[in-house]
Structure 1
Amino acid sequence: MPGDADASGQSLPASGEIPVSGVTEMPKSKQTPKKPGSRRREASRKKSSEPTPASRQSREKNSTAFETASANAPLPLTEKGNNRRRQPVESKPPGNRVQLPIETTSQKPFVGRGAAEERRRSERDLSLLTADPGLRADPSGKLTVERTLKPVSSFRGRRPSEGGAGSSVEENRPKTRSRSPQKSVPKNAQKRSTSPLIYGARLLILGVGIGVMAGTFLSMFDPASQYPAQTTEQASAGQTQQTSVKSGEQFAVASELPALEMKQEITALKTELQNLAQQQTDLVAGALFVDVDSGEYVNLNGNMAFSAASTIKVPILVAFFQDVDAGKIELNEKLTMRPDLIAKEAGDMQYKPPGTKFSALEVATQMIVISDNTATNMLIDRLGGAEALNQRFQSWGLSSTMIRNVLPDLEGTNTTSAEDMVKLMGLVTQGKLMSLRSRDRLLEIMRRTVNNSLLPQGLGEGAIIAHKTGDIGTFVGDVGMIDMPTGKRYLAAVIVKGPHNDPRSTELIRQFSRKVYQFFSK
């Protein structure tokens, strides 16, 4: 009605029309100040600004278009983290419609100098609202827009199932993402760590396999397979010698041992030796020299038996290393010096108190290096006695070598021959009676012999001899292996029987040694 006031306290036009939405009131600073006599012009303008029925109908149409445009407008989006997410709007009955207020400003009638311009602006703003049919005006004069809300899913833009106006609120709530159940992996399919022991076992199996293959391949080219059957049997016999158990059966018998090969006798050299021996009519000499490489030899009464004196210690030393190889004696085994084993004449052990202990290797070394008689008796006892040793000597083919009494045996009952001594040294050199390690140790001990008054005196410079002397006054002898600077190796054994402590006996041995060395040096 005319003269009524709106909610803001301003008066509405008398016709009851709603002020134009979106028209901004002109600031007072820009309004034209009233001048005297302008009342008449204002009344005229006010009358002209009253809406006509046509304009009122146009406003209602524009209001309806505004409501339609506002209802189709999209809902606001909210930023949450890095994902854009629609903000759910709770539906409200009826029909999921909501009213949005639109602030309006009451306007006074367009008056003044700029009234025509303001009117044109207002009409232009109203033309923009014609597209929204949901524009409504309440009795207070405010414009509102009615909008039908469409359910929008709150999770990644997915829409819930459409339920119309009666859809429940639960359907519009954000749904929690459900994780698909992980498939359990069988324990057997999981990667297992391999133990270092398994790796070691695999490498061991691989190494054994490669070794078998390599051995099979190399056996096809084994030179031993090209040797005659007789040589193989001889090698087998030599191996059997080192694996026997009983003292008399450690090694093969003499018939199974290859004899030292003596091919051709050196007659010229033999004649020279005979001439030297005949110059001493009261001396009897037995000698044998053999070139190991060529098989040439000189034999002068070589098979004649003589008193062995200390040369009997050579076969005892060979028997000792045989038992070492057989595991019957340890080199560091302690041997006790009993009173019944103490002997005079030679050696230093006799001066030790009875009950003194010595290692087996020390006893064997003293027996050869300084010709200790006590050490010899201790070894004879440890090796099973004289009878057991004699059986072993016979098995080696030493027909003249025998122990009848313990040392010093000044009566000369223990016997041997030059041929037996050379044969024994030949078997040692060829490694037929013992292992190569024991052979090397035996020769090293014999090279340390202190008494060098016999065979070594006839050798030239640079020659090396491993030997053992013997002397009981009436019998003097020397047995050894000589390596010449030229590489030639020969075996020597000389035993001379003569008056007690006659220097001619020792001199004859030196002369024989010199003649043979000079001949082999040519």
Structure 2
Amino acid sequence: MAVTDELTGESWTFEPGTEYFEASLVKVPMLLTLFREVNEQGRALTADEEYLATQMIRYSDNEATRQMYSHIGGAPALAATYDLIGISRTIPGQWGVTVTNVEDQLRIMTTLADGADWLSEGLRQYLLGLMESVDPSQAWGVSAGAAADGATVALKNGWLPDDNLLWNVHSVGVINADSARYDIAILSSGHQTFADGVVVVEKVARLVYDFEESGILDVADGKPVHG
């Protein structure tokens, strides 16, 4: 798990060196790569690009992602975006099964939250809007706790079984609540089922949200304490 508090600038990580399959989390930096290229070319998104972007983020459509990966120029183009973000341990290759860690995923979310000189404000807001309106069946994860309180949650989830049929289940996002604004990445693996992974990810997400809202954590009990 990794979190950056946008109000204080503080960051926290847990097991930052552990590696996981990236799964569908890669769909966000793929679109950031498209937007970088669009800015460089001085043009707007085409209708086809908007369609693929919507399918990738709202519905996590893999065929749309395959088409987009080819369209942006594949691994070299994605690597160029990672260089701009400061990502060094996620090396693009066959999308989905690339290994990554929470620090790299948090950098992607922080870039999306804060913006960059190669990312236009309009396209940044466009991507956040897609992530804020994912299909209800995919609105789990870092939204746990926050969404029920009315926070604005932009998220992307990823899930993929490994060679032993154990599940990688991940969730990343940007959260804006009444008294909290933070970027978060939760990666997990080794689950017997997809549903087991969702339970773990959402338990962590609720702890983080409650801490961000209250500012207090009972370390001994492992639960947030509301002040």
Same fold at TM > 0.5: yes
**Which residue number in structure 2 is paired with residue 435 of structure 1?**
120
**Which residue number in structure 2 is paired with residue 418 of structure 1?**
102
Q: In structure 2, the residue corresponding to 1:434 is in which secondary structure?
A: coil
Q: Which runs of 4+ in 1 moved over 4 A?
A: none
Amino acid at match of 2:120: S
Q: Which runs of 5 or more structure 1 residues have no equivalent in the other structure?
A: 1-286, 334-358
Matched, 1:455 2:162: no
CA drift at 1:490: 0.3
Q: 1:329 to 1:374 in 2, by over 3 A?
A: farther
Give the structure with higher Rg (CA): 1
The count of aligned residue pairs is 205
CA drift at 1:435: 1.2
CA drift at 1:395: 3.6
Percent identity between the aligned chains? Answer: 28
**Equivalent position to 1:308, from 22, 25, 29:** 22
**Which residue number in structure 1 is paired with residue 93 of structure 2?**
404
Q: How does 1:87-486 map to 2 (within 5 A)?
A: 287-327=1-41, 330-332=44-46, 359-406=48-95, 409=96, 413-432=97-116, 433-450=118-135, 451-459=138-146, 460-473=148-161, 474-486=167-179
Taking the aligned partners of 1:435 and 1:330, their CA distance within structure 2 comes to 11
Q: In structure 2, the residue corresponding to 1:326 is in which secondary structure?
A: helix
Amino acid at match of 2:108: L
Q: 1:436 to 1:398 in 2, by over 3 A?
A: same
Taking the aligned partners of 1:492 and 1:371, their CA distance within structure 2 comes to 19
Taking the aligned partners of 2:71 and 2:170, their CA distance within structure 1 comes to 26
Taking the aligned partners of 1:500 and 1:315, their CA distance within structure 2 comes to 28
Equivalent pair of 1:400/1:417 in contact (CA under 8 Å): yes
Deviations 1:443-465 (A, max 9, x none): 11111112012221232411111
Amino acid at match of 1:468: K
Q: 1:302 to 1:449 in 2, by over 3 A?
A: farther
Q: In structure 2, the residue corresponding to 1:465 is in which secondary structure?
A: strand
Q: Which has the higher helix share?
A: 2
CA drift at 1:319: 0.7
Taking the aligned partners of 1:512 and 1:314, their CA distance within structure 2 comes to 22
CA RMSD in angstroms, aligned pairs only = 1.8
Q: 1:466 to 1:472 in 2, by over 3 A?
A: same
CA drift at 1:329: 6.0
CA drift at 1:370: 0.2
TM-score by length of 2: 0.83
Q: 1:430 to 1:455 in 2, by over 3 A?
A: closer
Taking the aligned partners of 1:364 and 1:446, their CA distance within structure 2 comes to 11
Q: Which has the higher strand share?
A: 2
Equivalent pair of 1:323/1:329 in contact (CA under 8 Å): no
Equivalent pair of 1:468/1:480 in contact (CA under 8 Å): yes
Q: Which runs of 5 or more structure 2 residues have no equivalent in the other structure?
A: 162-166, 215-227
Q: Bigger relative contact order, structure 1 or 2, given CA contacts below 8 A and separation 6+?
A: 2
